[in-house]
Amino acid sequence: MAAAAHGPTHHSSTGIDNRKLLMWIFLASECLFFGSLISTYLIFKGQSLVGPFPDEILDIPVTSASTFVLLMSSLSMVLAVYGAEHGRPRMMKLWLLVTVLLGLIFLGFQVYEFRTFGHEGLNLTTNQFGASFFVLTGFHGTHVGVGVLILASLLLASFRRSGLGPEAGFHVEVAGLYWHFVDIVWIVIFTVLYLIPQ
């Protein structure tokens, strides 16, 4: 069943599918990208000349809720991968749909947070906190948005007569790698930006 879900056999010098290897190389490079943004945030921490300052404006209960939503989307994603890899398309579609919805809810939380901060006078150019906060969380949100588009297109494609084809398990697994990566980046951001005292 596993072989059927994964489709035709491939050969590569590493014994790993090159497309999957490419995704992992991409994710490793993304570590550097987010590592630099988090470093910038830490360097600017406590250096703002004018408010609003982080301890006045960050809403930890609301962000905890959005963190929970993203964490649960990782669970739904892995269940979708399981369905795809074990030839259970209905299970795959259901959990892909749940993952897309949870991703959209997370983005909704972020839009709400950004708008609230804007009303309270914090934007990209207000101070060092605003600049580093919006660039870091904005790039993360963009990644979530791209992930939602990838998963939504997989979900739409799965409704074709041929479904996702003989490599359905592979496609969903690789998309899942990206999605989980977005989740683990948020695990770090949530701790560094929100939970550690200002």
Partner 1 sequence: MTSDMAHGEAQLPEVQHKLPAIGPRQYVMIGVILTIITAIELWVSYSGLDAIIIPVLLVLSAVKFAVVVAFFMHLRFDSKMLTRLFVFGLALASAILVALTALFWNDSTISQTPVQEAAAGSGGGEAAAGGAAAVQAEVAVALGEFFVTVAAETSAGGVQFNVANEGAIPHNLRVARSDLAPDALPVAAGIVDEAQVDVVASTVDVAAGASDSATATLEAGAYVLFCNVPGHYQLGMHAPLTVR
| Helical segments of 45-194, H only | 54-57, 60-85, 89-119, 128-157, 168-189
> CB within 8 A of 105, min separation 6: which ones?
66, 69
Q: Which parts of 87-126 interact with partner 1 (CB under 8 A)? A: none
Query: Smallest distance, Å, CB 132 to partner 1?
Result: 11
Residue 37's alpha-carbon distances to 66, 121, 148, 197, in angstroms, are: 21, 22, 22, 19
Contact stretch for partner 1 (CB under 8 A) within 110-118, 144-152, 155-163, 186-194: 186-194
Q: Which is closer to partner 1, CB of 64 or CB of 142?
A: 64
**196 scored as a contact of partner 1 (CB under 8 A):** yes
- Find the binder of partner 1 among 57, 58, 69, 77 (CB under 8 A): 77
Give the containing element (helix H, strand E) for 87: none
**12 scored as a contact of partner 1 (CB under 8 A):** yes
Q: Are 102 and 72 in contact (CB under 8 A)?
A: yes
**65 scored as a contact of partner 1 (CB under 8 A):** no
**Residue corresponding to tokens 């879900």:** 5
Which of 168, 175, 174, 170 has its CA nearest to residue 150? 175
Residues that bind partner 1 (CB under 8 A): 2-3, 6, 9-17, 20-21, 24-25, 27-32, 34-36, 38-40, 42-44, 46-50, 60, 64, 67-68, 71-72, 74-75, 77-79, 82, 85-86, 128, 169-170, 173, 176-177, 180-181, 183-184, 187-188, 190-191, 194-197
